[in-house]
Amino acid sequence: MTDREMLEFAAKTMWYDDADWDHERKCISTGKLPGFRCFWNPLTDDGDALRLAVKMNITVHPGFVYTPTGRLIDCRDYANQIGATRRAIVRAAAEIGRDME
């Protein structure tokens, strides 16, 4: 699954109905207020990743991420464990979002 696909599926779990892919910023663009766009990318933003994990009830432990169904995603082998943890959170949410279709 590409980063774009993961982000689009994960955005579904956040109920971003008006989410669009922003090609220039390589993130999800969503309108929270009329005339104002919000850019969302939990692959690169710790705050976006944490909000996603909390909303989806994803359990995060150092080196591991657990989905609400108990699936384990291991991110210990990466040099950048914070980035790997963000990616694991998005992967878990993307699986949930894909199942919502």
More confident residue, 64 or 7: 7
The amino acid at residue 41 is N
Entry field: residues in the chain: 101
Which range has highest mean pLDDT (4-8, 67-71, 96-100)?
4-8
Q: For residue range 21-30, list pLDDT tens digits in order.
A: 888 888 888 8
Nearest of 70, 75, 61 to residue 95 by alpha carbon = 70
pLDDT digits (tens, 9 = 90+) for 50-92: 999 999 999 988 778 888 888 888 877 777 788 889 999 999 9
And the tokens for 26?
Answer: 């390589």
